[in-house]
Structure 1
């Protein structure tokens, strides 16, 4: 884009670029414009994220090993350890103090820890360990081996674990020439690829499989226990976690799995020798649905059991300060790291932030003081290497308080002072969480704002350009190419100076994006009339921007963000009521009834969809979950609604197309046969998913059900990606041609084309149905019902919008005819009349996309991710398809609404010669309006997250909402590209082909 000296493009290159842009077809021009906007959005999001969601600073230093010149601070209590991780072992699964009433499915089943603690309290301890969010397995393994804190963005790395490069218990054990043997979750092998003397990894993401990993661990665990030759033996069981994801904690399956774990632990205890420490822990907990990843109390509550066969490890009775008074004492999960290191005679990992578990050391005051002091010195070394002034100030203040108390004669134990110091430093680092790059945050917000402004400018340019809209777009792109490079060069230089860093790849992209967006904004200066025609407008045109402004401003309040699902329903119903009120001004009774009827239907559907809810933790006790059963399992009781999806919904589509005589051509076969069959397969898949875990199903039938379920999904996917696109693209329009012959019956006298008035809309609507079938396949039963209701709501909005346009045309015709002295001709709309769509027309679709996200069982929290969708059509996690299926399940409803955007410009619009109705221009205008809505709320969420980055709720509310908004914007951009570049292009080609073959 720029020459080596940083200037603008050479004259020859500019002329070549201008000629290339001038030669592009209108459709290619529209697609290129959407690609450029997506590029601006992507770079803006990447820049902001780079500054806001930095990963935790990793210090590569390593604690020195113990030797004669650098001895261990306290004597080791054990020479060996067996570490058993039972994934998702919630504290109440092993506590002797279950809640009231206890669950028969997971309380009192894994009872060995409670029994041993009651029988041998000096050699057995149970703790409620707090696992720092995000509560995903990879981050928790990092925590229990390094003692470090995770960061918010680390949760995304749970699918792609990379080797740990910081100091850890594993690396310290290897450095001390200890043999470490591992078996179970293969995440460990990804994190510590060259650390184990023997390893038996198993796939960790196949949540459909409840037993393979556990059976594999058992197969290798006990032979190693018997033959010895190891110092640390690690077994990571996954069955409890997979049962939680599969059916939730309140099922017989969970009781059976916990009973199996209890039997395994009893056998392990029986085979332990006197010099081996047993550590049993959960890496995290699970919520009532069996999922995890967030920060709710049940997700962060993980059980921890320490057991020694002969050596006492619980000396709490020697110190009243640490005596257990009621229930289980809560500790930080990372407190296990320094405690286990000292018990095994290993150096504490350099990045550790955990404290010691005092019960282990308080029997000897000297040992207790030495252990606490060793942790304090290690944390002091770490925070000096980390170099944060606020944390260093906290540490210095703690030491100063202790010195002043000691000097004044206040009896403060040195060990207590060290414990207090370590705790306060940990809290300071938790608040800090991660460093922010304010420079990148500001740059990202600026670019996102430029992207919004550029999209609005393009919307106005296309809207006001009329039939010559492409002249404005070509001018905008030509300006971007010729002038954007120069602006980008300047912006890149300024960015490099401001951040005081060498210009890197991100800054290059940022520079180009800023230049491009600035050039697009400058283009209206060269095209007359771009802004002037947009100054005036009606209330109908203003209500959409007002709704967007209110939605954007709501992101400044954590309460509005937490209750956004309810707020979206309110905004949609308000829009519907506005249209109902406008029905009174329609010039004909029939139009008034149509507008009134479709407005009320739209409001009713929105309220009905809003009844499907998944509550955030912060919404309790004012929210009632309806998407799941009371025990958190999927709401299988809605299977009675499935006939609505695969029987009634195709019938509704047929009736709607029949209104415009468009249920013709390929439509009957496509809708009533193929689409209905694919939707039926999607419903049957989830029926078999439920049946597979049904208590009444015989065990020997389960493999058959799994196989049938698998192939049903594969048949449906094959139809969606193969059969349906082929039939849709190769068939004609949804038209029916009637030929009437003269009285002799020999010659055709008249040809009537039925469905011509909706040739564009009906044909494109079949394309939307393909997208619906794909999203429906990866959605649970109630979500399928929600999707069906959303499609009917889209139809209601299309008919409502079309009726309002008819009312405008009739009113304009009446005014013109009255002015001309016409009488009988009043209300006869001219043949070539048209009404340009407005921004307000796109707003209900955008809000429907957001409502569909919430109503299909999602919230802006990690815990609502529906992992089951990763296995639709696959037996195990398969890259890249499984992650894509999860994305489709999460953002598919919103993408489906984006696919519907061209219908706003094509519904009940008949093809006319010489493109007198600019279908492509109107579609591009609506696509830009739709993109503007999501770009604006993304900008609002980014701005508020940055402004409130030290807010108490930033990582709980604002950061997750920004991440949701950012990904949604990218998904919307991609869906609009598919809609315009593929769906509308082929639809237009089919219309053009029909024009050549049929004479009207």
Structure 2
């Protein structure tokens, strides 16, 4: 059928507005019957392709799961509980039901979340907002050293609240894997201070952060918990705590409790929202100063006041890692009666030391898993009683010894035991104290190293599984060009099934007894699929070509992929990955520029040169948008926020976001005008929907900045308006836009019908009517682009203003890349998907992220909801973090569909090949991060650099896999090809 006839058919179909499957098939109409058969075949092929990508997803998740199980640390939790009966076994004597005579009858514990130590130390002449606002602890410690002790309180990473509360109540160390549960806390099962208090029938009152109620369900006799995750809310929790705290401290009510815990969150939330160097921090620290002034006035003489931060915060107000500012918290102990030995100023103690101190001061047994030692100043007293101090340090040391013995023989305690032996040989109390403290420190250090133990069998099987999936994926990519992808999938699938069964049956013989049946099945699936593919390769030679690039562009794609993957062999290159990726993108841009000069058509030649130069320029601009990680300092300047020590967006970012709303739709229209594709729904989607959506996004972030800067007046916030705007944008982009796009199936074309003398002269066209399809040259690409823009709008909303600017640059780069690939005739080359993968990483960094825990922008969980709502809140954070990955994944089919002739066959196959290439790039980079994280497992920086980068890559690969299977192929490309085929006919 010639173009004129197909144009007439398109006109007729558009006039009747038939959807997919629309119209009845006449028995005597072979054309329609063939079209129905082709449609059914297409649906089957699409379902099979989605299934293949889901299978790859399963292999990747399985391999990552196995490696993670062996790599991320997991401490064995002992269920032993310290009791009065166990006191004799460690050489202690009972005192009135406790391990030590009570020093205090009651205790008030005030937790000020993220209270960094330097927030409590005065600095003369400092202009920092966090200095000289919280003065009470230092003033009382200086004036009354027998009543007040102020320490630097060193936390063990990860510095997330839940893990710190575990350590602060059990006296043990959290492990890195615990960081993932920070916002889904589960009850503490090991022995802890709260359990010991309840065992002695002490009455506990709790106020504040609801993390405590998830850790200790049903433990509190008086409880007023508040939601802890809304980091934009500085006052609700603190006001609630104050509302109940002071009535409980009234003398008439102090008999209603023995322990009072109050956990304030305002300082932490001010840090997250603004950074520490902001007037809001001054206000919150001043408020805490006033609160503690009233508490000091109201507590009784027999009450110990304990004030501490669970962790600190970095220069942007974040925490989770192990930088000095994150682990440096403050601890203040106060008693109205003089009870303490004066201390040297600025002394540092470990947070695990608080547990044995409180336990013995309150007459409790020390929790069984404790690894701390008592704070000397509390037990020396006013007369420097070293005999008493030696007694309590001996109790703690022997408790640690008992715990170590119960934990297992894997602990190498040779050095530690020597200190214990020395303590037993001396009668000098001071020397005993020193040896017991050295013993405790030695055991603590051994445990820190011990809980960095790795399950090598699981790690190796995970890596092998990923290698197997990588091999099959590479074979599938090559098979799409040699028409052998079908046999490859069949062979690999059969091998996967056989391998799973074999490994499950003979796994014990192969030394895999440490793996569960399910883990053996995953490992066998990866191994078997690889073996099936290798077998297919041997049997099919030479029909099945080896896995090698087909041309120079393919070699460039391989070079860029392997170069990116190789940087994880060095901690320095890993730290500076945000600088490496733009160089790789610029390499592509420069080579595209050189190649454009070889284009034969003059107009296209200079257009290729222009787009290559624009691509390199945009890459450079985007690289200038960044958030620095600690290891990059001082050779880095953050530009993402309005300053180095804040998380507030700059006014220039808001102006830029407004310019994006104004100009970006026009830019997109210019690209579509080249092929006359700004037709049909394009003007409504781009000129109206996208423009209005971006305008609402700008208003949203302007209101948010107004709230941060109190432009609307002190205490006035626009939360309700912002929530409404966010819901409108998400509804417009995710729901309305995609429904209209997928079910409307209106292509970006226009059919023109006009009389033509030339057409009338033709014998086959007696009526002289000429039909032209405007937008025919890019009918696939223009329609798919509308789908991509829906995702672009939704993601832009959840990015900070500067991130929105970066995302607009990304979209411009995507459109420019499409032209570069088309003009150079390499739309089906592997270079397109690889460059898209590099863009995903480049804009991961330029949207304000790094391969570190503190860079996660948790506050975006509340962009459309007022409190934590599952699964919406986690999805918003994931979309904010991996927005660039999502958009580039959805863009992978575009190079194949851009300016593709509707008459071309095997469109779905080519889309599948491009998507597989894109996954292959991400899988290679992630596998490298996995391998080097395992290789450097004993490296000093493993938990600071290599482990976070591996976890970032693992989650990113999972997002990519799922988005390819379900969105890019299953929904986006499938709907696009179907919509075009309904008008122009299906092509096998």
How does the TM-score come out when normalised to structure 1? 0.89
Distance (Å, rounded) in 2 between the aligned partners of 1:593 and 1:502: 60
Distance (Å, rounded) in 2 between the aligned partners of 1:727 and 1:22: 25
What's the C-alpha RMSD, in Å, of the aligned pairs? 2.3
Aligned to 1:780: 800
Aligned to 1:469: none
1:104: how far off? 5.0
Is 1:923 the counterpart of 2:911 in the alignment? Answer: yes
Alpha-carbon spacing, 1:287–1:311, altered in 2? closer, same or farther (3 Å): same
Is 1:990 the counterpart of 2:979 in the alignment? Answer: yes
Distance (Å, rounded) in 2 between the aligned partners of 1:178 and 1:410: 37
Q: Tell me, yes or no, if the aligned pair for 2:116 and 2:330 is still in contact at 8 Å.
A: yes
SS in structure 2 of the partner of residue 85 of structure 1: strand
Aligned to 1:62: 81
SS in structure 2 of the partner of residue 642 of structure 1: helix
Alpha-carbon spacing, 1:435–1:756, altered in 2? closer, same or farther (3 Å): same
Aligned to 1:565: 578
1:648: how far off? 0.9
Aligned to 1:217: 241
Distance (Å, rounded) in 2 between the aligned partners of 1:851 and 1:872: 24
1:536: how far off? 6.7
Aligned to 2:664: 649
Residues 559-605 of structure 1 deviation map (CA, whole Å, 9 limit, x = unaligned): 01000000001111111111122223333333332222211111111
Is 1:353 the counterpart of 2:353 in the alignment? Answer: no
Alpha-carbon spacing, 1:373–1:748, altered in 2? closer, same or farther (3 Å): farther
Aligned to 1:389: 410
Q: Tell me, yes or no, if the aligned pair for 1:40 and 1:517 is still in contact at 8 Å.
A: no
Aligned to 2:968: 979
Distance (Å, rounded) in 1 between the aligned partners of 2:613 and 2:749: 31
Distance (Å, rounded) in 1 between the aligned partners of 2:970 and 2:542: 28
| Counterparts of residues 665-704 of structure 1 (less than 5 Å) | 665-699=680-714, 701-702=716-717
Which of 495, 499, 504 is the aligned partner of 1:492? 504
SS in structure 1 of the partner of residue 597 of structure 2: helix
1:699: how far off? 3.8
Unaligned runs of 5+ in 1: 1-20, 317-322, 466-471, 806-834
Q: Tell me, yes or no, if the aligned pair for 1:63 and 1:348 is still in contact at 8 Å.
A: yes
| Counterparts of residues 691-730 of structure 1 (less than 5 Å) | 691-699=706-714, 701-702=716-717, 705-729=718-742, 730=744
Residues 160-196 of structure 1 deviation map (CA, whole Å, 9 limit, x = unaligned): 1000000101111111221111111111011011211
1:474: how far off? 3.5
Name the stretch that deviates more: 506-515 or 590-599.
506-515
SS in structure 2 of the partner of residue 266 of structure 1: helix
Q: Tell me, yes or no, if the aligned pair for 1:180 and 1:197 is still in contact at 8 Å.
A: yes
Aligned to 1:443: 461
Which of 587, 609, 624 is the aligned partner of 1:574? 587
Is 1:749 the counterpart of 2:738 in the alignment? Answer: no
Aligned to 1:957: 945
Distance (Å, rounded) in 1 between the aligned partners of 2:558 and 2:946: 23
Residues 881-936 of structure 1 deviation map (CA, whole Å, 9 limit, x = unaligned): 11110010001111111110001211111100xxx432211111111111011111
Alignment length, in residue pairs?
924
Which of 518, 541, 545 is the aligned partner of 1:505? 518
Aligned to 2:434: 416
1:232: how far off? 0.8
Which of 849, 854, 868 is the aligned partner of 2:840? 849
Aligned to 2:401: 380
Distance (Å, rounded) in 2 between the aligned partners of 1:342 and 1:856: 50
Q: Tell me, yes or no, if the aligned pair for 2:241 and 2:262 is still in contact at 8 Å.
A: yes
Is 1:294 the counterpart of 2:283 in the alignment? Answer: no
1:449: how far off? 0.8
Alpha-carbon spacing, 1:474–1:541, altered in 2? closer, same or farther (3 Å): closer
Distance (Å, rounded) in 1 between the aligned partners of 2:339 and 2:853: 41
Q: Tell me, yes or no, if the aligned pair for 2:466 and 2:526 is still in contact at 8 Å.
A: no
Aligned to 2:36: none
Q: Tell me, yes or no, if the aligned pair for 2:479 and 2:488 is still in contact at 8 Å.
A: no
Distance (Å, rounded) in 2 between the aligned partners of 1:103 and 1:774: 40
Aligned to 2:868: 877
Distance (Å, rounded) in 1 between the aligned partners of 2:702 and 2:548: 55
Distance (Å, rounded) in 2 between the aligned partners of 1:654 and 1:513: 46
Alpha-carbon spacing, 1:22–1:487, altered in 2? closer, same or farther (3 Å): farther
1:742: how far off? 3.3
Alpha-carbon spacing, 1:410–1:839, altered in 2? closer, same or farther (3 Å): farther
Aligned to 1:476: 488
Q: Tell me, yes or no, if the aligned pair for 2:74 and 2:451 is still in contact at 8 Å.
A: no
Q: Tell me, yes or no, if the aligned pair for 2:933 and 2:942 is still in contact at 8 Å.
A: yes
SS in structure 1 of the partner of residue 924 of structure 2: helix
Aligned to 1:312: 339
SS in structure 2 of the partner of residue 159 of structure 1: coil
Distance (Å, rounded) in 1 between the aligned partners of 2:676 and 2:106: 80
Which of 765, 783, 802 is the aligned partner of 2:822? 802
Residues 76-118 of structure 1 deviation map (CA, whole Å, 9 limit, x = unaligned): 211110000011111111124x3x7524522221211112112
Name the stretch that deviates more: 590-599 or 262-271.
590-599
Name the stretch that deviates more: 518-527 or 750-759.
518-527
Alpha-carbon spacing, 1:788–1:748, altered in 2? closer, same or farther (3 Å): farther
Q: Tell me, yes or no, if the aligned pair for 1:40 and 1:513 is still in contact at 8 Å.
A: yes
Alpha-carbon spacing, 1:696–1:856, altered in 2? closer, same or farther (3 Å): same
Residues 765-820 of structure 1 deviation map (CA, whole Å, 9 limit, x = unaligned): 11110110111010011100000001111111110010110xxxxxxxxxxxxxxx
Distance (Å, rounded) in 1 between the aligned partners of 2:548 and 2:703: 57
Which of 732, 750, 755 is the aligned partner of 1:736? 750
SS in structure 2 of the partner of residue 54 of structure 1: coil
Aligned to 2:64: 45
Distance (Å, rounded) in 2 between the aligned partners of 1:701 and 1:195: 37
Alpha-carbon spacing, 1:554–1:481, altered in 2? closer, same or farther (3 Å): closer
Q: Tell me, yes or no, if the aligned pair for 2:188 and 2:216 is still in contact at 8 Å.
A: yes
SS in structure 2 of the partner of residue 160 of structure 1: coil
Distance (Å, rounded) in 2 between the aligned partners of 1:780 and 1:991: 37
Aligned to 2:109: 83
Q: Tell me, yes or no, if the aligned pair for 1:839 and 1:926 is still in contact at 8 Å.
A: yes
Is 1:544 the counterpart of 2:557 in the alignment? Answer: yes
Aligned to 2:190: 166
SS in structure 2 of the partner of residue 254 of structure 1: helix
How does the TM-score come out when normalised to structure 2? 0.90
SS in structure 2 of the partner of residue 25 of structure 1: helix
Q: Tell me, yes or no, if the aligned pair for 1:761 and 1:906 is still in contact at 8 Å.
A: yes
1:389: how far off? 2.9
Is 1:141 the counterpart of 2:175 in the alignment? Answer: no
Q: Tell me, yes or no, if the aligned pair for 1:541 and 1:838 is still in contact at 8 Å.
A: yes
Distance (Å, rounded) in 2 between the aligned partners of 1:683 and 1:23: 42
Q: Tell me, yes or no, if the aligned pair for 2:109 and 2:307 is still in contact at 8 Å.
A: yes
Name the stretch that deviates more: 738-747 or 758-767.
738-747
Distance (Å, rounded) in 1 between the aligned partners of 2:576 and 2:605: 35
Distance (Å, rounded) in 2 between the aligned partners of 1:640 and 1:847: 28
SS in structure 2 of the partner of residue 102 of structure 1: coil
Aligned to 1:891: 882
1:377: how far off? 0.5
Is 1:431 the counterpart of 2:449 in the alignment? Answer: yes
1:476: how far off? 3.3
Distance (Å, rounded) in 1 between the aligned partners of 2:617 and 2:506: 53
Q: Tell me, yes or no, if the aligned pair for 1:44 and 1:448 is still in contact at 8 Å.
A: yes
Unaligned runs of 5+ in 2: 1-39, 761-765
Residues 435-455 of structure 1 deviation map (CA, whole Å, 9 limit, x = unaligned): 311110000010011111111
Distance (Å, rounded) in 1 between the aligned partners of 2:889 and 2:196: 53
Distance (Å, rounded) in 2 between the aligned partners of 1:175 and 1:135: 29
Is 1:267 the counterpart of 2:294 in the alignment? Answer: yes
Q: Tell me, yes or no, if the aligned pair for 2:205 and 2:223 is still in contact at 8 Å.
A: yes
